[in-house]
Amino acid sequence: MAKNLLIVESPTKARTVKKYLGPDFEIMASVGHVKDLPKTRLGVDIENQFKPEYVTIKGKGKILQQLKEAGKKAETVYLGPDPDREGEAIAWHIAEELNGKDKKIYRVLFHELTPKGIKEAMASPQSLDRNRYESQQARRILDRLVGYQISPLLWSKVKRGLSAGRVQSVALKMICDREREIFAFEPKEYWSVTAHLKAEDPPPFKARLWRYDGDKIELKNQEQTEALCREVGGQVFRVAKVTKRKKRRNPPPPFITSLLQQEAYRRLGFSAKRTMSIAQGLYEGVDLGPRGQVGLITYMRTDSFRLSADSVEEARGFIAKRFGKEYVPETPNRFKSPKGAQEAHEAIRPTSVELTPEEVSPYLTKDQLALYTLIWKRFLASQMAPVIYEQTVAEIEAGKALFRASGSTILFKGYSVLYEEAKANNGSGDKKEEEAILPPLKKGQVLTLEQLEPAQHFTQPPPRYTEATLIKALEENGIGRPSTYATILSNITERDYVKVEKGRFRPTELGFLVVDLLKKSFPEIMDVKFTAQMESGLDKVERGQVRWTKLLEKFYSSFQKALERAEKEMRAEVPTEIKCPRCGRHMVIKSGRNGLFLACSGYPECKHTANFIRDEKGRVVMIEASAQETEEVCDICGRKMLVRSGKFGPFLACSGYPDCRNTRGMDEQEKGGAGNRPTTRAQDLVCKECGGQMVVKRNKRGQQFLACSNYPKCTHTEPIKTGVPCPEERCEGVLVERSSKKGRRFYACDKYPQCRFIMWDEPYNDKCPVCGTKVLRIKRAADGSAKLVCRKKGCDFTRPLDQD
């Protein structure tokens, strides 16, 4: 019989650890938390120093009983849940259930599930960390106080199903604030001038106007720019100065949790939730065939850049063997961790660099391999030599104008031979001109001007947040912790507070309403700095600097007053500047069964209501019943279409309802496009099953499709065909519009699964005149303009789309 009992939180982790411990150990899994606050009530005794009421989680009674029975038989119990606050809470609750006062119970911290990591953890057992546990308990109670006391308030004042959270609501506020910045943004026109030049030796190159008459110049309109071009065009272009200098680009640090989430989103398109789920599996262990169950990465919830000396030495040896000694720096690269980081943890790294992605690929899923490869390469790159390059900057005179061209040449690839960081797509408009290769230039050399190219630009609004940029902003502001970001982002999306459009968060009207109500009633809870201070306070609890009850008392004294005031004064409406057309009072935004609407603030004396939309500046625009009729004609019966509002926003519906039930989205009017991209017209098609008229419909994800107008008697549907032939060789299919699980539109061959061709941009039936690639892409800009772009990577063909 085993003398020792080791309890971990995951069956996978149990299998991995069991491989390295002898018969003296029985290993069991708690399968996560065993106790928590009750779901049906607050579960916190506020009057008794916030004493929590823990109950056994539903379905965990049998597991807990098995753990107790095994604990009675064992001489010593080791608790090995994850080495963080949540793991400490799991360990603490299990110890309480096993009656830890009468038994030897130790805490072991597995930072990596390898023979060495497991051996070190078991050789240095610790006592349970009360401070870490109380820090987790304080966070749990804080979140319960906020969530379970504000959410019911929203249910009674607005509608059921809404939720508020201490960190979640602040994240939503940041998204709404960014949207309001976009609404308030006023674009400004500016111009640039690029000189296309040629020297005696190739290649030709470009230089950008930098200064005029010794000062920086701002070209604000076309007239000013054209006047400057006329003046400069007649001047001699002469090299005034050439500067060359060597530069270094140091390698990036290894991953911590937040950086892994950001990079996995940019490179792999993984959500934070998906990234953490895959990483958990890699940490707990994967069956590698002959090797058995092996943990492939170190613990993935960390904010420290610290690396063990052994892992660094192993990496340096591997780099020298694989790439050469010149790629190994003289001394190991070290990176400074953020302030307050828990240095007990290492950065996220492979448990052994010898387990290369190529070697483990047969045993991993596609997603596991992609994430493991990212972690493996990033860790090795962090210990490689820097990139060394020579930068050349040439200043070119043309009368009073001074142009500048820059170029760079890689002298030593360094870490970039293995890894390059994904560039953040910030959506901020014009890209900086990429550095190119310059010809040999010397001071005084006269150049040939081939063309002066003026270009109009407009300043761009701040971009909406992506998962990566929101996580970065949360971390920079000290809001939440990286281990909680995945849950936060998941919650605000599932509650319909935001929509994800082209990978970016856009707040819904419900999101705006909830944020406005909470800002008014709970300004502290919604304050970024206050939330960051609470996180700092929780860190102090973990370090033993503050009692957890004192932290909660200080928070609740002001929160309780705000809660009592909100219960009396909160009105589930947001005032607008629009006046009621019947009585002249101001209209307010309210929430109803079918979504948000405008209602007169004089209710019940005045019961006038109306639908609304927001214009491009975010201003609320009322849609009066008399103004709901449009010039659009129903493609079934020929009656006028009306603007109506539903759960998913405004849409067009036939005025002949209920005789005619035709509907379509507001954006389903034909977009300006070339004849090469015909689109299926519903009125031209009849149902293949019953002969009825086909109509355009839209599902919950926003995807358009064709459906029989005789629904529900006939349920026949078809995808919308673009009329563009599939470009794959020997395929006779046609591209049709489809939608991903996240609602993103794409175009695929209607012969699927025989043909798996897809593209994300609108297709255009033409060949690229440069490389001959079939089917071009239509790229549409926010200002309504569009251009054709070649699909082939590396081909830079583009031309404006003739929208007539």
d(CA 39, CA 219) in angstroms, rounded, equals: 62
From residue 376, how far is each of 313, 358, 382, 560 by CA, in Å? 15, 11, 10, 49
- Concatenated DSSP letters of 213-271: TTEE--B-SHHHHHHHHHHHHTSPEEEEEEEEEEEEEPPPPPB-HHHHHHHHHHHH---
d(CA 739, CA 718) in angstroms, rounded, equals: 13
- CB of 517 within 8 A of CB of 157? yes
d(CA 339, CA 729) in angstroms, rounded, equals: 57
Helices 257-268 and 467-476 pack at an angle, to 10 degrees, of 160
- At residue 192, the 3 state secondary structure works out as strand
Tokens read off for 744: 């993103």
- CB of 495 within 8 A of CB of 234? no
d(CA 394, CA 382) in angstroms, rounded, equals: 33
Burial of 549 (0-12, 13-18, 19+ CB in 10 A): middle
- CB of 136 within 8 A of CB of 88? yes
- CB of 738 within 8 A of CB of 704? no
- HSE-CB for 345 with a 13 A CA cutoff: 25
d(CA 645, CA 651) in angstroms, rounded, equals: 6
Cα four-point dihedral sign 780, 786, 791, 795: negative
Q: Which residues are catalytic?
A: 299
d(CA 194, CA 454) in angstroms, rounded, equals: 6
Nearest residue to 541 via CA among 139, 100, 74: 139
List, in sequence order, the alpha helices (H) in 98-221. 115-123, 130-157, 168-184
Pairing of strands 717-718, 721-725: unpaired
Beta strand extents in 417-529 (DSSP E only): 446-458, 498-501, 504-507
- Concatenated DSSP letters of 477-497: TT-S-HHHHHHHHHHHHHTTS
d(CA 410, CA 388) in angstroms, rounded, equals: 6
